[in-house]
């Protein structure tokens, strides 16, 4: 069993059945033995980008996560402190939160982002 945290773009690629999501990544997400997490920070990021017209995504993400059989990952006060204490490698606050959550919860991050591996978290390239 693996415990995977989907980066926001990876979650959206899965929902859209995008060719950008690699076959190995698809297999890992689809494997019912794995625990797949989606962070509340992804819902926040998606909502902001939808609101300003930079993104199209389904409404009712909370229900979508349940329908997909994914786990919701809330943001705790500890996660907030950890994200703020990270080295200034990545300027994106959403990705910094994902890194902090992965570190705190012992999760592997599935992402195509080149900066996230620089934090020393376990990363799965979402394009593979």
**Residue 95: which domain range?**
3-125
Task: In whole angstroms, give the CA distance from residue 62 to residue 106.
Answer: 23
pLDDT at 11: 98
Which bin fits 64, alpha (ψ -120 to 50), beta or left (φ > 0)? Answer: alpha
Q: Residue 78 has what pLDDT? A: 98
For residues 22 and 126, is the Cβ–Cβ distance under 8 A? yes
The span from the CA of 5 to the CA of 35, in Å, is: 9
| Full pLDDT tens readout for the chain, 128 residues | 999 999 999 999 999 999 999 999 999 999 999 999 999 999 999 999 999 999 999 999 999 999 999 999 999 999 999 999 999 998 899 999 999 999 999 999 999 999 999 999 999 999 99
Predicted confidence at residue 86, as pLDDT, reads 97
Residue with tokens 């992402």: 111
Give the HSE-up count for residue 90: Cα atoms under 13 Å, Cβ half-sphere: 21
What's this model's pTM, rounded to 2 decimal places? 0.96
CATH number for position 111:
3.40.50.1010
pLDDT of residue 100: 98
Compute the CA torsion angle 7, 54, 26, 67 (nearest 10 deg): 90
Number of domains in the chain: 1
Beta bridge partners of 109: 5, 123
Tokens 């993400």 sit at which residue?
61
**Alpha-carbon torsion, ordered 87, 88, 93, 98, to 10 deg:** -40
pLDDT reported for residue 110: 98
- The CB density around residue 98, as the number of other CB atoms within 10 Å, is 31
């Amino acid at each position: 069993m693996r415990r995977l945290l989907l980066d926001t773009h990876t979650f959206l690629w899965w929902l859209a059945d995008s060719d950008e999501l690699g076959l190995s990544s698809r297999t890992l997400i689809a494997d019912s033995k794995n625990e797949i997490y989606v962070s509340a920070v992804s819902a926040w990021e998606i909502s902001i980008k939808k609101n300003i017209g930079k993104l199209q995504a389904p409404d009712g993400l909370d229900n979508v996560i349940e329908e997909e059989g994914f786990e919701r990952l809330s943001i705790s006060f500890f996660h907030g402190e950890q994200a703020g204490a990270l080295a200034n490698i990545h300027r994106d606050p959403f990705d910094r939160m994902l890194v902090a959550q992965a570190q705190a919860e012992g999760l592997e991050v599935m992402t195509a982002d080149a900066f996230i591996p620089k934090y020393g978290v376990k990363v799965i390239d979402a394009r593979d």
